[in-house]
Amino acid sequence: MDLNKAIIVGRLTADPDARTTPTGINVTSFSVATNFVYKNQEGQKVEQVEYHNIVVWRKLAEIAAQYLKRGRRVLIEGRLQTRSWEANDGSKRQRTEIVADNLILLDSRPSASAEASLASTTTAAEPDTAPQPAVADKKGEDDISVEDIPF
């Protein structure tokens, strides 16, 4: 069995770029920065920043374009994909990106209409693949109180 799964939590480095393909499919791309902090041999804290290219398709692309803004904190789930092409100058180029099938806004609670929209959307898929089942809407579930915990 093979597995290609990426999960990151970070902040958008710029506002998303929303487009529509010639066949009418929505696609949005953006970049997310993550950091890794460690101590070097001298005991000093070092922060290493990584920038991740993200692509979302279809309904999730519409939602990303509408609600994501530079600086927002997000959790992204998806798969790694590397594209290759030849640039105008004849050089070969490559770009590795995360094709997201799920995103969660982390920094502030969205409005009720935004939450309903996010909860009822289908997960994104590339144009060549079938969409996955819709995420269940959890608004009707009972809240758990401290008295419900058995210990």
The answer to whether the CB of 52 falls within 8 A of the CB of 32 is yes
Q: Which amino acid is at 33?
A: A
* Kind and range of the H or E run holding 114: helix 112-120
DSSP string, 5-70: -EEEEEEESS--EEEE-TTS-EEEEEEEEEEEEEE-TTS-EEEEEEEEEEEEEHHHHHHHHHH--T
**Does the structure show a pLDDT above 90 at 74?**
yes
Predicted TM-score of the model (pTM): 0.67
Work out the mean pLDDT of the chain and round it to a whole number.
79
Q: Would you state the structure tokens that stand for residue 122, as one six-digit string?
A: 């289908």
Separation CA 33–CA 48 (nearest Å): 10
Q: Map residue 131 onto helix, strand or coil.
A: coil
pLDDT given for residue 147 in this prediction: 55
Percent of the chain with pLDDT over 70: 71
User: Beta strand pairing status for 45-57 and 92-105?
Assistant: parallel
What kind of architecture, by CATH, is found in domain 6-148?
A: Beta Barrel (2.40)
Asked which of 1-5, 86-90, 141-145, 146-150 is least confident by mean pLDDT, the reply is 141-145
